[in-house]
Amino acid sequence: MRMQTLGAVALPLLFARCYVYTPLETVMPRSEVDVALALTDQGRVEAAHTLGPALDRVEGRVAQVNDTAYLLQVSSVRDLRGVVTKWSGERVMVPRAWVGNSYTRRLSRSRTYLFAGAFAAGAAAFIASRALGVGGPSSQGSGGQGSGGDNQ
């Protein structure tokens, strides 16, 4: 049961590592694109009352974009210390004047292949260990109660 729970938690976290952020190729990204916006010093100060204090980066999905601002469905914010706070898709207007750099989230083929290979190797090792009886309960017991060590 514990292995199933561990797998249910670990697999999505590992798959999330298959993504990387690369610089945005356009100044007008289309809607529904996942972006990360790195804030400038001015942006940190201005965003404090709507997004939180001392933020470094805002991540979310573009709902709308125009010449002056991004309307994001915010998924998370990261502060200067690296602490990430999850959001639930609230829509927030982020003026372009607050943004120093903008990135888009892309699938990393190399990380995905590496993860898939490691997962396949682990699954094969697990199956082989079960087929050969390695790591399971032993049929050879101690033959009795045993002393369990020096009992003086």
Quick one: pLDDT at residue 106?
72
CA atoms within 13 A on the CB side of 60: 26
Domain boundaries, the chain: 19-107
Token readout for 30 is: 């289309």
pLDDT at 130: 76
Bridge partner residues of 97 (DSSP): none
Residue 72 burial (10 A CB sphere; 0-12, 13-18, 19+): buried
**Mean per-residue pLDDT, 54-70:** 95
Residue from 66, 56, 52, 64 nearest 36 by CA:
56
The more confident residue out of 22 and 148 is: 22
pLDDT of 32: 79
Model confidence pTM above 0.75: no
